[in-house]
Structure 1
């Protein structure tokens, strides 16, 4: 679990270092890939082949439905650059990773992931690539697919524990 949190924190540090004026869009581009990659890596780190299968189904379905809707709805972007605005693919990608982490492994990992995914949505509106309807649709689509395909991992206990020298994550597998 420390590796998952480390990857999330590295994404957030990168996000913070990139988040200046015009670089907000670039940071969103990076995080929209980092979150699903973090989710996939977590399934290997935690030796969770069932979770990996669930992630691939939920992420793949989110991706497919997002791109079918983009071509079907054909909504123009706020900046006028093209007609593939609805729903936001960046947001659906990021939110798919975040929703998987939360549903499969709990809120200790899910909350920071959801905050990072929320930033991706903000970055798309900031860059005038999407409006809030596009971003909300992408987020809801990803969360819905995760509700459909992903189950909580019941043999995993994750916690944030205080210690003398700071906070530490606790990971325990039940056998």
Structure 2
């Protein structure tokens, strides 16, 4: 066994609810703190978009917490598959597949690659994984946060409502097909 693989197994063996939650929230605090320093002069409108961007990464990253402390290697594989499919389909549409289907790719405030919303896809992939794999106790906070990310994309005029809805549908179908309930 390689030294790196052995070290990874030791980290998973020592993981528990307390230390993984603490590590996660320390990392999240650092990201928020850096954003406050870099963007302290921005308007409220811009901050709504920034918070949405942070949360869209924070939700799928939080998946690591229960995966580690439950020692759920199957869940880790399912999340990687889920992200690969969702991000693959999202970017396939952004990079040209949308034009094949005649989907408007112009953003409300200008620019291209509107359909579907990548931020919403990222947030809902994590939220739906947590909900399906580990139960509704995770949905209480993850699904409203994912919905907030979708809202920020529309509020900031980065996406049309159909872009956000398409991302939610993509994540829901993919999650139902890929994610299985955790059994200890």
Question: TM class, shorter-chain normalised?
Answer: 0.7 to 0.9
Give unmatched runs, 5+ long, in structure 2: 1-15, 100-104
User: Which residue does 1:122 correspond to in 2?
Assistant: 151
**For residues 20 and 105 of structure 1, what CA distance do their matches in structure 2 show?**
35
**For residues 132 and 142 of structure 1, what CA distance do their matches in structure 2 show?**
16
Give unmatched runs, 5+ long, in structure 1: 156-175
Query: Cα–Cα, structure 1 residues 20 and 46, in superposed 2: closer, same or farther, change >3 Å?
Result: farther
User: Which residue does 2:98 correspond to in 1?
Assistant: 73
Contact 1:28 1:120 in 2 (8 A): yes
**Equivalenced residues, count:** 150
**For residues 180 and 59 of structure 2, what CA distance do their matches in structure 1 show?**
18
Query: Cα–Cα, structure 1 residues 138 and 93, in superposed 2: closer, same or farther, change >3 Å?
Result: same
Question: Superposition pairs for residues 132-147 of structure 1, below 5 Å?
Answer: 132-147=161-176
Q: Deviations over 1:41-87 (max 9, x none)?
A: 3212220000000010011110000000112215100111x220000
Q: Does 1:22 align with 2:46?
A: yes
Contact 2:17 2:65 in 1 (8 A): no
SS of the equivalent of 1:65 reads helix
**For residues 99 and 24 of structure 1, what CA distance do their matches in structure 2 show?**
23
TM-score where L is the length of structure 2: 0.73
Q: Deviation of residue 20 (structure 1)?
A: 4.0
**For residues 61 and 116 of structure 1, what CA distance do their matches in structure 2 show?**
22
Q: Does 1:63 align with 2:93?
A: no
SS of the equivalent of 1:47 reads coil
TM-score where L is the length of structure 1: 0.77
Q: Deviations over 1:112-145 (max 9, x none)?
A: 1011000100110011010110001111111211
User: Which residue does 2:9 correspond to in 1?
Assistant: none
Please, what is the CA RMSD of the aligned residues?
A: 2.5
SS of the equivalent of 1:152 reads coil
